Amino acid sequence: MAAGGEAIPSQFRKGVVELAILALLHSDEAYGAEIVDRLGRYPGLAISAGTAYPLLSRLKKAGLITSVWRESPVGPPRKYYRLSAEGEGAFGGMAKAWTDMKDAMDSLLGREATHD
Amino acid sequence: MTDGESRPDGWDLPPDATAMVDDYFERLRAAGLAGSLTAGAGVDRRRGDDGENVVADLRAHVRDRLHGTAGTPEDVTRVLSELGPPEALAAELASTVSEGTDDGQLAGGGSTRSSGSVLGIPYDLRAPTSARFASRWWNPLDRRILVPKAWGVGWVVNLGALAVLTGVVRPDDEDVPFATVPPKTVAATLMIPVVGLAVFAVFAAISWAYLPAIVPTHWGISGRVDGHGTRGSTLLYISLLAAAPVALATWVHARRQPPLNRVAASALSLAMVVQSIAVLAQTLFAVAGGTGVWPLWTGLACGLVLAFVLLVRVSHIGRTAEQRRDLSTGSTKGCV
């Protein structure tokens, strides 16, 4: 159990959500509210706008994503985010690392479950 | 040899092996002190306690690994080599421990905490900077309306969060606040508090004739006057209250600070000028026999509102500049 009774430590979740955002933007560009809505479809990854925008800003400062204003078919222009070339490379490495960690954790958690 | 080298099962390391382990942890401790890992001489106590606990755990780990071996120098070398050089381990531990104890915005440097919080009330006694003032007053990415003061004790209003909350600005309207605002517009923002200061000067000059030799200078919570001063010293004090922020804002502009710092300095000095006018109005109001402090509170509110309007307006100019840059190709989603 994480400190303070959190089910998942905030730093761990933050890292996972960052990877989730990169995964979303790997498939297609998206604007801020759209990213929040799409992550909201996954209960474990749901974040508020107040969390999403600082993360997007951080990823942009890190050079992993870029943004561009585009006209919207409905309403005012929207700022769309997408992976940069550097972000594409980083996403590949992070996705591989995630898969390795997931396999290891699945194995570890499965083994511990047999001991319970 | 430390007490931890004796175990309940009666097993002890040979003296030369103990000396090797002690030497390793002495080097680790020395490297840790240099890197603020352990408490030492006044370094952050919480981080120091965490570091000491980790070091104790590592020492127990080494003993466990050596348990069942002959405890020869070769065994000790092999086990310690698994931990790596003590200097490298100290750096790794310092990094790991600090992740759990640092407050990114409030972390102080040096051997004493010059910023942090006491009983939940934040304080920051570090030398103030225009960048810190600006980021506390205008940060649309931070959803907190009240944020720790850039200098002093307590909180200030994050007008950026207020703008997002009221829907007049979106958090990501600008990549970097005011970065794409035309330089002339950024410079022009300084003229607003300067004009405000001129208004104050005229108001103060006219007020002089209407003020008696002794004037009210302080009001209690109930609105009753509980302090007096001479007309000259009071007007001088209020004038400094108005002029000093404008002078500082002018200095920030003259130093070619980033646009965010400059616009925030303009907005903050504007708020202070308006508040100074309100203080003068409150004084005249009391001299005329008025009761209550509503002129003061009205001025305070007006100052914040005007600063808010200025910051939002400049943010909109920055957003428009970004949009003009990106939309010049006429692209829309789906036809890029």
Residue B108 has pLDDT above 50, yes or no: no
Contact A79/B at CB under 8 A:
yes
pLDDT band, very low/low/confident/very high, at A2 (cuts 50, 70, 90): very low
Going by pLDDT thresholds of 50, 70 and 90, the confidence category of residue B83 is: confident
User: Which amino acid belongs to residue B328?
Assistant: S
B 186-245 residues with CB < 8 A to A: none
- In terms of pLDDT, which residue wins out, A1 or B47? B47
pLDDT higher than threshold 90 for residue B304: yes
> Where residue B205 falls among pLDDT bands split at 50, 70, 90?
very high
**How far apart are the CA of B103 and the nearest CA of chain A, in angstroms?**
13
pLDDT of residue B111: 43
The answer to which of A36-45, B311-320, B323-332 has the lowest mean pLDDT is B323-332
CB-closest option in B141, B323, B336 to A54 = B141
Contact check, Cβ <8 Å, A71/B141: no
Are B326 and A73 a contacting pair at CB < 8 A?
no
- Other beta carbons less than 10 A from residue B6's beta carbon: 13
Whether residue B243 has pLDDT greater than 90: yes
Going by C-alpha positions, the residue among B283, B312, B253, B280 that lies closest to residue B199 is B280
Put simply, the answer to whether A77 touches B323 (Cβ < 8 Å) is: yes
Task: Look at A69 and B142 and tell me if their CB atoms are within 8 Å.
Answer: no
A vs B: CB pairs below 8 A: 51
B115-140 pLDDT, tens per residue? 888 888 999 998 889 999 999 999 99
Q: What is the pLDDT of residue A62?
A: 93
Q: How far apart are CA B127 and CA A21, in angstroms?
A: 38
Average pLDDT over residues B128-157: 93
User: Regarding predicted confidence, which is higher, A110 or B5?
Assistant: A110
**pLDDT at residue B311 is higher than 70:** yes
B-chain CB neighbours of A53 within 8 Å are 140-141, 171-172
Cβ of A32 within 8 Å of Cβ of B171? The answer is yes
| Amino acid at residue number B167 | G
Closest CA relative to residue B249, chosen from B52, A41, B257, B290: B257
For residues A24-49, average pLDDT: 92
Single-letter code of the amino acid located at B236: L
- pLDDT for B10-67, tens place per residue? 567 888 888 888 888 888 877 765 554 444 433 444 455 556 667 777 887 888 888 7
The arithmetic mean of pLDDT across residues B132-152, rounded, is 93
For B156, phi and psi rounded to 5 degrees?
-130, 165
A68, closest residue in chain B (CA to CA) = B326
Tell me how many domains chain A contains: 1
The phi, psi pair for B54, rounded to 5°, reads -65, -40
pTM: 0.71
Percent pLDDT > 70 in chain A is 87
Among B333, B335, B336, pick the best mutation site for testing chain A contact (most A Cβ within 10 A): B333
Gap between the Cα atoms of B213 and B153, Å rounded: 35
The single residue listed with the structure tokens 């980021």 is B135
Pick among B172, B315, B319, B320 to test the A interface (most A CBs inside 10 A): B172
Residues of B with Cβ-Cβ distance to A34 under 8 angstroms: none
b/e code B57-89 from CB counts within 10 Å (16+ = b) = ebbeebbebbeeeebeeebbeebbeebeebeeb
- Biggest CA–CA distance in chain A, Å, is 57
- Facing residue for B332 by CB, picked from A57, A60, A70: A70
Is 50 exceeded by the pLDDT of residue B75? yes
Q: How far is CA A76 from the centre of its chain?
A: 26
Give pLDDT, residue B43: 40
- Mutation target to probe the B interface, by most B beta carbons within 10 A, among A55, A68, A78, A81 is A68
- In this predicted structure, what is the pLDDT of residue A43? 86
Region A27-53: what's the mean pLDDT? 91
Map residue A82 onto helix, strand or coil. Answer: strand
Whether B82 shows a pLDDT value over 90: the answer reads no
Q: What is the pLDDT of residue B104?
A: 38
Q: What percent of chain B has pLDDT over 90?
A: 50
In CATH, what class is B183-327? mainly alpha
- For A54, the closest chain B residue by CA position comes to B141
**Mapped to the 3 state alphabet, what secondary structure does chain B carry?**
CCHHHECCCCCECCHHHHHHHHHHHHHHHHHHHHCCCCCCCCCCHHHHHHHHHHHHHHHHHHHHHHCCCCCCHHHHHHHHHHHCCHHHHHHHHHHHHHHCCCCCCCCCCCCCCCEEEECCEEEECCCCCHHHHHHHHCCCCCCCCEEECCCEECEEECHHHHHHHCCCCCCCCCCCCCCCCCHHHHHHCCHHHHHHHHHHHHHHHHHHCCCCCEEEEEECCCCCEEEEEEHHHHHHHHHHHHHHHHHHHHHHHHCCCCHHHHHHHHHHHHHHHHHHHHHHHHHHHHHCCCCCCHHHHHHHHHHHHHHHHHHHHHHHHHHHHHHHHHHCCCCECCCC
Q: What is the CATH number of the domain that holds A48?
A: 1.10.10.10
Mean pLDDT, range A24-30, rounded to an integer: 93
Q: Percentage of chain B surpassing pLDDT 70?
A: 82
**Where, residue-wise, is CATH 1.20.140 in chain B?**
183-327
- CB contact, 8 Å: B336 with chain A? yes
Closest CB to A49 among B171, B326, B333? B171
B86-99 and B15-34 helices, crossing angle to 10°: 50
Q: Give the per-residue pLDDT at A112.
A: 57
CA distance to partner chain A, nearest, from residue B14 (Å) = 37
pLDDT digits (tens, 9 = 90+) for A57-73: 999 999 999 999 999 88
Q: Which of residues 47-76 of A touch B (CB under 8 A)?
A: 49-50, 53-54, 56-57, 60, 67-73
Residue B112 — pLDDT band, cuts 50, 70, 90? low
pLDDT of residue A44 exceeding 90, the answer is no
Look up the domain containing A80 and give its range: 3-115
Note whether A68 contacts B141, CB cutoff 8 Å. no
**Looking at the partner chain, which of B141, B322, B332 has a beta carbon nearest the beta carbon of A71?**
B332
Residue A88 contacts by C-beta under 8 Å, 6 or more apart in sequence?
A26
Size of chain A, expressed as the number of residues it contains: 116
Examine the pLDDT at B301 and tell me if it is beyond 80.
yes
CB contact under 8 A, A71 and B171: no
pLDDT > 60? residue A116:
no
A11-25, B22-36, B154-168, B222-236 — which is least confidently predicted? Answer: B22-36
What mean pLDDT is reported for chain B? 83
For residue B188, the model assigns a pLDDT of 97
Give me the pLDDT at residue B11, please.
Answer: 62
* Distance in Å, alpha carbon of A115 to nearest chain B alpha carbon: 24
* Residue B34, pLDDT score: 53
Nearest to B117 by CA among B159, B166, B153: B153
Q: Please report residues of A whose CB lies closer than 8 A to that of B322.
A: 69
Q: What is the pLDDT of residue B270?
A: 97
Q: Please, what's the largest Cα pairwise distance for chain B?
A: 97
Helix (H, G, I), strand (E, B) or coil at A95: helix
Contact with chain B for residue A10, Cβ under 8 A: no
Provide the 8-state DSSP code for A30: E
Higher pLDDT, B314 or B105: B314
